[in-house]
Amino acid sequence: MPQDGSRDPIAGPDSGPAPPFPLRLNGKVIKGFGRGSSELGIPTANIPIDGLSVGGNKDLESGIYFGWAGLSTSDATNAHPPGTKGKYELMKADIYDDLTAKMQQHAAPDTSSSHGAVYPMVMSVGFNPYYNNTVRSVEVHIMHDFQVNFYETHMNLIVLGFIRGEADYTTKEALIDDIKTDIDVSGRSLGRREYLSFAKDPYLTEFSGRSEIAS
């Protein structure tokens, strides 16, 4: 998808998520292909794709989505409280500053260590054609600067909208540019009140007994 200025700067209606959203998914964070951090500079947290569906056995469409991620308590969440500014530089600074301020003002969830933490996220579902993957994967990029990994912790997701379909790329640079655009679109989209409110949804920090993805 070329970066020609034709992409919408925001996703989802201003009135709030439209069906089938919001979608509530969860799973244990597992190791993926390892390319996000090492090759692209955009780390992702993977969860198993088994059972990922909208309902009626219809698989979730491949593409890019935005929403909120809740992480169970770990060294990573304790070191990086939600809604605090860090060194995160993948989103344009003005969009990041605006979203962070709105999170602190309108959407600050319970940040006690016993309840985990909530962060903005952008999610990719699909085969990642650039890498010719033969299996679909769910890769979640949490829009926060983490220095500590959180493998084996649990992640709850509220998916609020669809940004775009899956695309192929001729260069790694084009892929990185489009992912950064996805991050900006997600940041703008989540900054609206009807989407901010979902950061306080109790589902995001309910981890007891959860071991598999559920829709």
Most confident of 13-22, 103-112, 121-130, 165-174: 13-22
How much is the pLDDT for 169?
77
47-65 burial, b at 16+ Cβ within 10 Å, e below that, comes to: bebeebeeeeeeebeebbb
pLDDT of 201 > 50? The answer is yes
pTM of the shown model: 0.84
pLDDT of 160 > 80? The answer is yes
For residue 58, give the DSSP letter.
E
Q: What is the CATH number of the domain that holds 151?
A: 2.40.30.30
| Residue 173 pLDDT class (50, 70, 90 cuts) | confident
In a domain, 156, yes or no: yes
Catalytic positions are: 139
Structural domain total, the chain: 1
How much is the pLDDT for 172?
82
In a domain, 15, yes or no: no
Nearest Cα to Cα of residue 141 among 62, 215, 37: 37
**In 3-state terms, what secondary structure has residue 167?**
coil
In a domain, 12, yes or no: no
pLDDT of 215 > 50? The answer is no
Average pLDDT value for the chain: 79
**In 3-state terms, what secondary structure has residue 127?**
coil
In a domain, 74, yes or no: yes
In a domain, 213, yes or no: no
Nearest Cα to Cα of residue 152 among 25, 28, 26: 28
Q: How far apart are CA 130 and CA 40, in angstroms?
A: 12
In a domain, 64, yes or no: yes
In a domain, 18, yes or no: no
Q: Which class for 21: exposed (0-12), middle (13-18), buried (19 or more C-beta within 10 A)?
A: buried
pLDDT of 158 > 50? The answer is yes
Question: Domain range spanning residue 62?
Answer: 23-205
In a domain, 214, yes or no: no
